[in-house]
Amino acid sequence: MKQEVADLIKRYRKRRGMSQKELSQGICAQGIISRIERAEVVPSIDIFFALIRKLDVDMKQVETIFSIKPTDHDVYSQEIKDLFYKRDHRTLHYIVTNLAVENFSIEELYYIDWYKAILDYHHFSNFEKSKKRLEKLVEKSQDFPELQLRVLTSLGNIYMGEEDYSSALSYLLEVLPRYKSLNETEYEWRFLISLSRCYFFLKDTEKALYYNTLALDSVLEHKSLYLLGELLLMQTNILKEDGLLVEALNTCKQSLVILELENNQQVRNIALSLFAQLQKEVKNEQ
């Protein structure tokens, strides 16, 4: 399979008139493209799909050479988990719709429903369909507490996306006493930043700062870059709201550095805009 993947990527790259450097930009290091094309490695799912999207590869060719289906009993594999946390909803949709669900347990089928609810909102922009599916899952997942926590957190996040912060908070507060029970740091950090954002939008900067700092301290303790840029940006917004402009400006600088390292251009653009605004406000204050 390594050689088939190598030939596919190399053929389409040359067909599009791209250099390895151009193809790698925003996806991975150039050296990884070189190793893929020399058939030394098979790319991870997220890198592979980012490459074929950029190259506009025919999906029928992909299906014949690259199996991405998890095992029948692996609906929360590391690969799917990574796609979920990286918000790669296009690839997640492809995988979920190609799962062989014939032998799935009830719990596994509920997990599939949860993924589909996430995709209803983030991939298809259908709030009502997502909300209804998730609300049904809250009841159905009572015997599966880990899944129920994920469902409640998702409900909080989609209500926050619709700017219904009171409803969002009610769901997130249901999770708060139990959020550590999953023993999954990525989930804990995402939950805490969601709770922080919700309190921020509700103008409770004290609680927003508290929960954001909890997540930030944990990320630093684990020496991870995951979410660090976004957490620092959240911290910037809270400090700005509290009138601590110099502290906010310095924190925003740190956020920009981390977001550059993470290659998170979308959030970095938001941070750049905020940084420029803070520079003006600090200058005016002086």
Q: What is the pLDDT of residue 72?
A: 41
pLDDT along the chain (286 residues), means of 10: 84 93 91 92 81 84 57 63 82 80 87 95 95 96 95 98 98 97 93 98 98 96 92 97 96 94 86 96 89
Supply 128's token pair: 């009502």
**204 CB-near residues (< 8 Å, 6+ apart):** none
Q: What is the pLDDT of residue 101?
A: 79
pTM of this prediction exceeds 0.95:
no
Q: In whole angstroms, what is the distance from residue 277 CA to residue 6 CA?
A: 46
Q: What is the pLDDT of residue 68?
A: 46
Q: What is the pLDDT of residue 196?
A: 98
Q: What is the pLDDT of residue 228?
A: 94
Q: In whole angstroms, what is the distance from residue 17 CA to residue 199 CA?
A: 49
Q: In whole angstroms, what is the distance from residue 248 CA to residue 237 CA?
A: 7
Q: In whole angstroms, what is the distance from residue 156 CA to residue 44 CA?
A: 31
Q: What is the pLDDT of residue 127?
A: 96
Dump strand ranges (E) for the chain: none
Q: What is the pLDDT of residue 176?
A: 98
